[in-house]
Structure 1
């Protein structure tokens, strides 16, 4: 239910806003897709402006669809505004045929099967396809009101539609107008991050409805009242309204009563109008306020307990006062949400509970439509009928699961768990799965599906606290190995191993059982992670034999994945990858998508670890496609695969593709966190944007997230090194390693990379101090370098058998060793040659950075021709990637060492853009003309000209051109005569 101005209210003071919105409609009629987020305080006139736009759109032949969000406290109605839109479409004979072509969206209306969770993306794409097809028949206007009350699934669907869905399809034109109360958005409001994402999209803009000026409020008040008003009355309304059109209208209405003075608060104003009604009408409004956003006529009659004639008389009175407005389908709703809130707040506690109970019972007596379960749960809870609230919450969770809304399923399950202990055991739902432990396990599964890994861990810990292992050892084991699996997703590896050990001990191996097999499979994975290879191998082979004997195919596949990493050459060997392909096929045949995704992830990682980056991408594509079709995109392995895909693109130097794909991750995986941001930040940092370090810092300041901490550590350590701040680089590296080290003291693999990055800044400082003659200072930093290289050496190997990391880890170790030698004694040609060779597996940027150090070492060794070749290669890579800081360092080395002379050619110290500007300078262009030809501002052109003068050591534009001709940076252009 929304609060709005009357459609008859004149639209005052909104000419600019209306013109802007009508311009969006005009562009939609021209075939464009645009969206406007309409913000403003409650009562400022958002709905009135939208009503005007809707009326004009309808007159112009556009298809208009509207949906509203609703406040039901902590109870969510999944996809509510979109189900309202679908209801309108289904009821319009002209549109029903289009709807029939998209049966998948029927699940939003409660249709479909329990498999709906497994096709959430299909649901989203179905909605996008439906809207696109509607737009093909006529330009479409979609209006969504009160987004501040939107449920998470509706927010996710809106994100999809605006960033990838209907806005990415060729249509006949779509306009989306979505309103929300800006004064309701506290710092942690879930809508805030979504708005921040959406306004960055090119097709989305924000429109803020500001309070009206005093003169406009006065004009509005006079326009609303036919009779002349005393100036003092108008002035007092203007003062009280404070620019809010709704306040003004309500204050004006209150002057037409015999009540005393005008109250200072809006609630008081609303209650004055309410109290002017008859007792029966007040009773009806109190009952309607408890119903929520809207109420059906017969439901209101039964809840109020009034004869039809009395109800109709009361409703006519309320409608006449415009406190209620009629709606579609024989329904009524409050004209303003704030009016409903004020009436509801004025109820006595006992009266409120009694009316909630009446609505709950009436809804229960009706056909048990699944979509009413959330409302019934709300009413039963507010009426203090906790047993029925528990039952309805579980039904609401089932409904959320069927429509593919895991976040809402989790919320309803947690509500049920909160109620569980307050409900008498005899009144709790009975049947399999209806006990606190199994419900908690189900909630942890929903959390994992929603991408809330840490919440999944907390819920499983709660289940562990409630399980009685003596009474049900099998359930106790299942809880423990589930907890172990969840702990591994957040990299708490030692704790995972402890719990998997306990799980295996609780279930005897004989007689064999599927529970023991899965406990063993989880223990194998945990043992491998903590380096207990012998244990992992022994248990894996034993469990594999049992799985084959019992025919537990998916567990067999899971064990084969673990063995592929444990035996022979590991998952990067041909034998290991053959075993992984077998596991993939077994998991697919058994229908176990999570195990299949694990096999595909390991196939991709095996290729990556073997340095076969191009071969890695098809496995990732297959895995992510399978995750989409299974509804598991937010679970652990798809998150890892998405991240790995972006890392591979980054490593291969396909940076623009990497950034573009990363930009879609927030839409596709709203809970991805560091998985989505990291590779794009790596690109930004390499291209010279050091401010990403500040954005990365936020990942370390919030609640602990393992991946976010890792990403922030890499970005912030490298940023400090690039800024020449070794103190900060070392501090950030140590902080990150400590944060990621598990309870058993096992450091993360990324330690070797972090140490190498910090060593870069440390060796720079040591070399700088040595050149200044400060040997003591240089030795102190050399000692720091020794500490860091030892840390890198220790983390470059894994487990008790000291197996080395893959090519990437060993490449970072080679770089760390070379930086250590540079800090202690200066650039070492051989060490940097090894680092170059190590990164030659495919990491374009890190290879170039090592080649620059190699060129520096060759130059120091007077091997200038070889140094020139290396520096030129670095320059070519940096220019191709757009890595400006690296390009500038390469140019500086070329100039300092006169390496262009050594190669017999000229390496320009200018960037590609500066060379473009230089050519136009040579033609005598002004800054303004340069800007026009290069499509940049004159101010930006001026900055480029200043940079050119500084780099060439010129005092004027003419001198810069002369130097450029002399040094061969530009060639004379032929005249008209040739």
Structure 2
């Protein structure tokens, strides 16, 4: 469904139609595709055939008229299934169960009651009956072709049947009998999967195993110059032939090919099938590691950990091999994404030690890159920069263009975390075209996200939106659910920063939904605090407090406040507005006065107070947010600047103009220092509303 959504975006001027077939749901409901509002759509209900429909189809097939009785017979026997009707008509015709007469120059058909009484009761029996009536040589060709699959190539069939000198004629005969249809070149397609399945099921196991082996060997001979297009078919045939050695070879190749092309579910399936064979322990470790990589990309972190632990269980005396190092790198990557930074670091340090011992430079590079990202997620940017520089030096020494791009992207990400746009952008923008040239969409997404983050920071909202929209498209294509979530989160954040609060809400809500699908983790962004401040900005205090309460409950369970007080800003805004609206000096007075200003909010405020340990006072929440945003090695401006100007506005509106001006001046200084043009514009608007001169502020 996501693919259809992507396909139908921005195609107004393209002569393109997308046709989708779908079954009704178990409850009879129709499938609803998540298309954008501007996409034209037309639904066609393909219902079961009635008598009139059946008669029309029969008359087209027979090129003549049929009676109403014949039409009712077709519906009764087929239950209105069009495919069943077609096969039933062909079966009746082939068994001489129809009487044909000419009337007025046109053919008319009736049922021959003597021959139509023994009509098979199900479609598979009808199909087998039709196949059994084919000439023996043609039937044999059809059965052998069924082993090759729903679609097959004549040269492969010819290799399996070298003694059939009339193969071309037999292929044409079967086409005339509507067994298959000829495609361009020497390719043929069975008219229906059931037809192919019926031909396949007519053969005994030993014969099928022999034919699968011969089919695989024929493909290896014919396509020896490039087997890569046939790995999937070769794996299938050798599995069916029960030849383990060849099955292992082609399952691994098919899995690796699918993984490289981001056909993630297919790759996982190939690797699962591969693990059913008696592999040596090293290959088992490698296979589990590959599955862990894919599941990490898909956001299936718990399942990824389970696969990787299965891989580690294969060690049993194989310690300190490059395979162990590679697996521990993937394990560290999954753990850091889940927020288990110390455990991740332990695995990465072991991987580094092994890689250095066995002189595996490629694995050492991956270890350093992942370790740098772990330090970044742990909010230790100086350590992250130092390790990332080691990775960059190693990549340059090895002449590894892809590795150098990864290191540049990592460096840009760390500078982005430090809100250093001047250092971040050159690294990020240099890495993106390299990944694009090399076809690595997974790695390309990382610098694209961080480029969007930087453009958002400096107020280039349109540029930021362009990058995040591209990331959604690329991430959806390769199954990167984290990339999709991050982009939705930041698109909402950008709209909120630009004052387009109503537009921000659906993006934040969808981001929360996507985040729930992947489970909690250690990513360095959270959506709830921004959604809470969005609701507060719109004057919707109940919604703001509900989201903030939900977020504070997570913090009480031990989750890190990666937004460093942003949710506290939302609560401060709500409390401040209550005070301003009530004309009272304190929030407790406004909430407990007779009648109280907002009695409906009291339960949320009480719960939030218990979760945060803060009094019912906007000063306490704003001051906590400001302190939290300044607590790290560097201030966190995405919380600090809004906390300062929202607090300043509250102070100014409640009779404390000097204190308010001081906070607004601090916000201005921070925004100017980081060139946060969007925040600067917001401050100018706020100053104008308060009757202050922005230029003389501070």
What interval of TM-score do these two structures reach, taking the shorter chain for normalisation? 0.7 to 0.9
Query: 2 CA distance for matches of 1:682 and 1:531?
Result: 21
Q: Which of 480, 490, 509 is matched with 1:679 structurally? A: 490
Question: Structure 1 residue 716: deviation in Å?
Answer: 3.3
Question: Structure 1 residue 673: deviation in Å?
Answer: 0.9
Query: 2 CA distance for matches of 1:821 and 1:468?
Result: 66
2:612 is matched with which residue? none
Pair 1:757-2:565 in alignment: no
- 1:337-352 → structure 2 map (5 Å cutoff): 337-344=193-200, 352=208
Q: Which of 815, 822, 835 is matched with 2:667 structurally? A: 835
CA offsets 1:863-913 (integer angstroms, 9 cap, x no match): xx42xx579x9xxxxxxxxxxxxxxxxxxxxxxxxxxxxxxxxxxxxxxxx
1:483 is matched with which residue? 331
1:372 is matched with which residue? 230
Q: Which of 138, 148, 159 is matched with 1:291 structurally? A: 148
Q: Which of 655, 666, 672 is matched with 2:472 structurally? A: 666
Pair 1:774-2:590 in alignment: yes
1:422 is matched with which residue? 277
1:740–1:748 Cα contact (<8 Å) kept = yes
CA offsets 1:124-147 (integer angstroms, 9 cap, x no match): xxxxxxxxxxxxxxxxxxxxxxxx
Query: 1 CA distance for matches of 2:454 and 2:26?
Result: 39
1:643–1:676 Cα contact (<8 Å) kept = yes
Query: 1 CA distance for matches of 2:25 and 2:591?
Result: 58
1:286–1:344 Cα contact (<8 Å) kept = yes
2:74–2:85 Cα contact (<8 Å) kept = yes
Alpha-carbon spacing, 1:708–1:176, altered in 2? closer, same or farther (3 Å): farther
CA offsets 1:928-954 (integer angstroms, 9 cap, x no match): xxxxxxxxxxxxxxxxxxxxxxxxxxx
What SS does structure 2 have at the residue aligned with 1:182? coil
Question: Structure 1 residue 159: deviation in Å?
Answer: 6.2
Question: Structure 1 residue 516: deviation in Å?
Answer: 7.5
1:437–1:463 Cα contact (<8 Å) kept = yes
Pair 1:627-2:435 in alignment: yes
Question: Structure 1 residue 298: deviation in Å?
Answer: 5.1
1:652–1:842 Cα contact (<8 Å) kept = yes
Query: 2 CA distance for matches of 1:784 and 1:285?
Result: 82
User: Whose RCO is larger (CA < 8 A, sep 6+)?
Assistant: 1
Alpha-carbon spacing, 1:811–1:715, altered in 2? closer, same or farther (3 Å): closer
Pair 1:805-2:600 in alignment: no
Alpha-carbon spacing, 1:764–1:531, altered in 2? closer, same or farther (3 Å): same
1:211 is matched with which residue? 46
1:70 is matched with which residue? none
Q: Which of 386, 405, 415 is matched with 1:596 structurally? A: 405
2:175–2:181 Cα contact (<8 Å) kept = yes
1:89 is matched with which residue? none
1:93 is matched with which residue? none
CA offsets 1:17-63 (integer angstroms, 9 cap, x no match): xxxxxxxxxxxxxxxxxxxxxxxxxxxxxxxxxxxxxxxxxxxxxxx
Pair 1:718-2:533 in alignment: yes
Question: Structure 1 residue 709: deviation in Å?
Answer: 9.8
1:254–1:269 Cα contact (<8 Å) kept = yes
1:390–1:419 Cα contact (<8 Å) kept = yes
- Across the two proteins, how many residue pairs are aligned to each other? 635
Query: 2 CA distance for matches of 1:660 and 1:495?
Result: 37
What SS does structure 1 have at the residue aligned with 2:152? strand
1:693–1:719 Cα contact (<8 Å) kept = no
1:234 is matched with which residue? 71
Alpha-carbon spacing, 1:765–1:595, altered in 2? closer, same or farther (3 Å): farther
2:212–2:241 Cα contact (<8 Å) kept = yes
Greater Cα offset, 665-674 or 712-721: 712-721
CA offsets 1:701-743 (integer angstroms, 9 cap, x no match): 31326599945425532343245444543443454466689x9
What SS does structure 2 have at the residue aligned with 1:393? helix
2:130 is matched with which residue? 273
2:629 is matched with which residue? 796
Query: 2 CA distance for matches of 1:708 and 1:699?
Result: 13
Query: 1 CA distance for matches of 2:24 and 2:233?
Result: 23
Alpha-carbon spacing, 1:699–1:749, altered in 2? closer, same or farther (3 Å): same
Pair 1:435-2:270 in alignment: no
TM-score by length of 2: 0.73
Alpha-carbon spacing, 1:424–1:609, altered in 2? closer, same or farther (3 Å): closer
Question: Structure 1 residue 358: deviation in Å?
Answer: 4.0
Pair 1:391-2:249 in alignment: yes
What SS does structure 1 have at the residue aligned with 2:182? strand
Alpha-carbon spacing, 1:719–1:392, altered in 2? closer, same or farther (3 Å): same
Question: Structure 1 residue 445: deviation in Å?
Answer: 5.4
Question: Structure 1 residue 668: deviation in Å?
Answer: 3.0
2:59–2:66 Cα contact (<8 Å) kept = yes
1:603–1:619 Cα contact (<8 Å) kept = yes
Query: 1 CA distance for matches of 2:345 and 2:157?
Result: 58
What SS does structure 2 have at the residue aligned with 1:435? helix
1:527–1:533 Cα contact (<8 Å) kept = yes
1:253 is matched with which residue? 90
Greater Cα offset, 373-382 or 847-856: 847-856
Alpha-carbon spacing, 1:259–1:596, altered in 2? closer, same or farther (3 Å): same
What SS does structure 2 have at the residue aligned with 1:664? helix
Question: Structure 1 residue 825: deviation in Å?
Answer: 9.2
What SS does structure 2 have at the residue aligned with 1:466? coil
What SS does structure 2 have at the residue aligned with 1:277? coil
Query: 2 CA distance for matches of 1:531 and 1:654?
Result: 25
Query: 1 CA distance for matches of 2:624 and 2:175?
Result: 76
1:92 is matched with which residue? none
Greater Cα offset, 803-812 or 262-271: 262-271
2:413–2:428 Cα contact (<8 Å) kept = yes
1:325–1:334 Cα contact (<8 Å) kept = yes
CA offsets 1:653-699 (integer angstroms, 9 cap, x no match): 44444444433333333222123323333355542234444433421
CA offsets 1:134-167 (integer angstroms, 9 cap, x no match): xxxxxxxxxxxxxx9xxx9xx79x968x869xx7
CA offsets 1:731-781 (integer angstroms, 9 cap, x no match): 43454466689x9x5614324233323432343345445659635368967
Unpaired segments ≥5 residues, structure 2: 96-114, 598-604, 610-614
CA offsets 1:608-631 (integer angstroms, 9 cap, x no match): 745657x75444322212221233
Please give the root-mean-square deviation of Cα atoms over the aligned residues, in Å: 5.0
1:783 is matched with which residue? 616
Alpha-carbon spacing, 1:511–1:422, altered in 2? closer, same or farther (3 Å): closer
Alpha-carbon spacing, 1:474–1:591, altered in 2? closer, same or farther (3 Å): closer
Greater Cα offset, 643-652 or 516-525: 516-525
CA offsets 1:190-225 (integer angstroms, 9 cap, x no match): xx99x75xx5497x7555443378545543433332
What SS does structure 1 have at the residue aligned with 2:441? coil
- 1:959-978 → structure 2 map (5 Å cutoff): none
Alpha-carbon spacing, 1:625–1:508, altered in 2? closer, same or farther (3 Å): closer
1:318 is matched with which residue? 174
Pair 1:407-2:263 in alignment: yes
Question: Structure 1 residue 853: deviation in Å?
Answer: 5.7
- 1:493-892 → structure 2 map (5 Å cutoff): 493-503=341-351, 526=374, 529-530=377-378, 558-560=388-390, 587=396, 590-603=399-412, 606=415, 609=418, 612=421, 617-635=425-443, 638-670=444-476, 671=480, 672-684=483-495, 686-687=499-500, 688-689=502-503, 690-704=505-519, 706=521, 710=525, 712-714=527-529, 716-733=531-548, 735-736=550-551, 745=558, 747-768=560-581, 771=584, 774-776=590-592, 783=616, 785=618, 788-789=621-622, 792=625, 795-796=628-629, 802-815=632-645, 829=660, 830-840=662-672, 841-847=674-680, 849=682, 858=690, 865-866=691-692
